[in-house]
Amino acid sequence: MGKMNLALLVLCFSALFAAAAEASGIWDDFYVFNGPVNVKSPGPKVGKTVVLGLTNQTGATIASYSPYLFGRFSTKIKTVKGYSAGTVTSFHMASNRTNWSELDFEFLGNVTGQPYSLQTNVFVEGHGNREQRINLWFDPSAAYHEYAFLWNQKQVLFLVDNIAIRVFKNLKGNPFLDYQPMYVYGSEWDGESWATRGGLDKINWAYAPFEASFTAINTHNACKVTDPQNITQLDACYAQASISTYGQGVNLSLTRKQVHDLRWIRRKFLTYDYCEMVVKFAGKVLPECRQNWP
């Protein structure tokens, strides 16, 4: 096939995917994983928005039916308003095997009037302990903002309204999130033992239910797998990545804008970085830590 034809084909496919994304609601791709009593799907856009709640009985989680290997995964979230100390609103991806992979956005609530923290984490081959925390430049409970993972063969980007806040690169000789398709989750849960000021501020149940709203969940620019153990399907996702927008060209490394974004985040908003703790306690820099901030 000529270069032009291939480009045209990719363009047509992209248009098709975009159309499908518009037409479908949450429940085509997701189901209630736990806490059905605290899952509300309100109007007017029935099926496009879901409210996940936390009460003294249970939290709530939705999960994707299928796992994915590479793609762009996004949702818009409005976190719990007012007193939210001890609560955690999360958008995350995880494989469910031994030595699993995981990517997390976790919004740590606070007492009334104090700012949320956004914690991110990466698990590779079952090992996490890669927390970073930032303050946000807006109040995430006041309006919807978009949170996205762009995951391909070369790197994972964490994006907030398309601003890069974190990168995890695929470095030679270091483990990476590959060959393990991940499910996508949204959830609202009780993290009072650690979330707010290290667990000092607890949940105040008088304010329950604590509710976060998720809308425009988009997993369509991605490679879906039906059987996570089937190597043929995983190989097909590698092949798809190399002809997709998410897995080629500018998306394989940081753009100039993303380098600028990350420097801005580190300078103005970073409040905790596991790499600094590693240096403090083990006295050596992990190879990945040299690459986390450009």
Under 8 Å CB-to-CB from 83, ≥6 apart: which residues? 109, 111, 112, 204, 207
Interaction between residue 189 and ligand NAG (CB under 6 A): no
145 binds ligand NAG (CB under 6 A): no
72: contact with ligand NAG by CB under 6 A: yes
- The verdict on whether 192 is a catalytic residue reads no
Closest CA relative to residue 38, chosen from 83, 74, 75, 87: 87
Among 150, 184, 237, 265, binds ligand NAG (CB under 6 A): 150
Quote the CA–CA distance of 271 and 294 in Å, as a whole number: 17
- Collapsed DSSP state (helix, strand, coil) of residue 129: coil
Kindly tell me the burial class for residue 282, based on how many C-beta atoms sit within 10 Å of its own C-beta (0-12, 13-18, 19 or more): exposed
User: Is 288 one of the annotated active-site residues of the chain?
Assistant: no
- In the complex with ligand NAG, the residue whose CB is nearer, 149 or 214, is 149
From CA 287, how far away is CA 174, in angstroms rounded?
8
Give the contact letters, 209-248, x = binds to ligand NAG (CB under 6 A), - = no: ------------x-----x--x-xx-----------xx--
Residues in the chain: 294
* Closest CB to ligand NAG among residues 45, 127: 127
State the residue number with the nearest CB to ligand NAG.
245
Residue choice 38, 87, 89, 117 for contact with ligand NAG (CB under 6 A): 117
Considering only residues 24, 96, 170, 215, which one is a binding residue for ligand NAG as defined by CB under 6 A? Answer: 96
Residue of 43, 44, 173, 249 that binds ligand NAG (CB under 6 A):
249
CB 84 within 8 Å of CB 204: no
What pairing do the DSSP bridges indicate for beta strands 132-134 and 117-123? antiparallel
For ligand NAG, the binding residue among 28, 125, 235, 276 (CB under 6 A) is: 125
β-pairing, 270-273 with 163-169? unpaired
* Interface map 16-45 toward ligand NAG (x if CB under 6 A): ------------------------------
The backbone torsions φ and ψ at residue 203, rounded to the nearest 5 degrees and listed phi first, read -70, 140
Binding site for ligand NAG (CB under 6 A): 56, 72, 96-99, 108, 110, 114-115, 117, 125, 150, 195-197, 221, 227, 230, 232-233, 245-246, 249-251
Residues designated as active site: 102, 106
